[in-house]
Amino acid sequence: MKTFKKFNNSFRGKSFISINQFSSKKEVEIIFNTADQMKKIVEKRKVNDLLKKYCIAQLFYQPSTRTFTSFLGAAKWLGALTIPIHGMSEYSSAVKGESLADSIKSIYQTTAADLIILRHPDDDSSEVAAKNSYVPIINAGSGKKEHPTQAILDLFTIRESFKKTDNLKVAMVGDLKNGRTVKSLALLLSLMGKNNKIIFVSPGSLRAPLALLNQLKSSGTDVWETDDLNQVIDKIDCLYVTRIQKEWFAKEEEYQKVAGCYTIDKKLMSRAKKKMIVMHPLPRVNEITEEIDTDPRSFYFEQMRSGLYTRMALLKLILLGNN
């Protein structure tokens, strides 16, 4: 299902469902330049009233710490009225059988929201929501498929660290089958330049989907797959670690076969480049040991703050436009 519109240099009034909506690097740079301005608002500690006439609803059908709070923080820093709803799967009429389409229409009517932010376990949830919504939808994580705003914040973090978004070797490690953040980030890195090399590191059973590999390769991106992190650790600029996603495994014994398959510890980090950065969308379970938290190359906490700035930028661009 593909109901989303390409951005074509304009975000106003459009849903943000997928990285595939970008047609050029320039569109991503518009978001980053706006995020730079948003960062200044937060650093000055002065709440802005850019969105004071707007109401933003958040509907989360899956747990979230970062995405939920950074969207909420983003809306509040810009002065919007906020309707933050966690626990949709447990407490909304979805429990009684209400469809997502009806819930989206209902929330619009009951809150007069100008924009709806949605996290949902179904891969096509954001497309379904956008098709049935009177107002723009932002995909805050859809099933195993995409987490486009996470990719934006991830790349913003890379840009802050390296002052560039191309000519980079990025290793994505862990559950590449079930994880949605790696899929969106790989598509975004591919859009930013043919000189970005992506190395997918996973056990055989958790490889990135073939369709994604084919899309990346057909757009000219250099993609490589391995199950051996030791083989690549000294060659990469960015180590993007992900959790093995237990919630998607049908059987505990299948999960146990791959749990703990990669651990980022001091020994591994001693072989990495001095300027390599470690990222993780979080939550982590045990794939990065806490001893690494104080390593200057660990960026997974700063990475979250990028979510506040880039999500402020997206709210502004979608509700008010580029100017």
Active-site option among 14, 39, 67, 180: 67
Among 3, 10, 48, 64, binds ligand CP (CB under 6 A): 64
Rounded Cα distance between 70 and 307, Å, is 6
Structure letter (DSSP) for residue 170: E
Least CB distance to ligand CP at residue 150 (A): 5
Active site residue 147: yes
Residue 65 in contact with ligand CP, rule: CB under 6 A: yes
Give, as ranges, the residues between 78 and 97 that touch ligand CP (CB under 6 A): none
> Measuring CA to CA, which residue among 160, 209, 161 is closest to residue 186?
209
Active site residue 119: yes
Active site residue 280: no
> Measuring CA to CA, which residue among 270, 202, 295 is closest to residue 240?
202
Q: Which two tokens stand for residue 63?
A: 């747990």
Rounded Cα distance between 238 and 169, Å, is 7
Active site residue 67: yes
Rounded Cα distance between 16 and 162, Å, is 26
- Options 5-13, 45-53, 64-72, 236-244: segment touching ligand CP (CB under 6 A): 64-72
Among 269, 281, 292, 311, binds ligand CP (CB under 6 A): 281
Residue 232 in contact with ligand CP, rule: CB under 6 A: no
How distant, in Å, are the alpha carbons of 20, 178, 216, 312 from that of 24? 10, 27, 15, 21
Among 136, 141, 143, 148, binds ligand CP (CB under 6 A): 141
Give the footprint of ligand CP on this chain (CB under 6 A): 64-68, 141, 147, 150, 281-283
Q: What are the residue numbers of the active site?
A: 66-67, 96, 119, 147
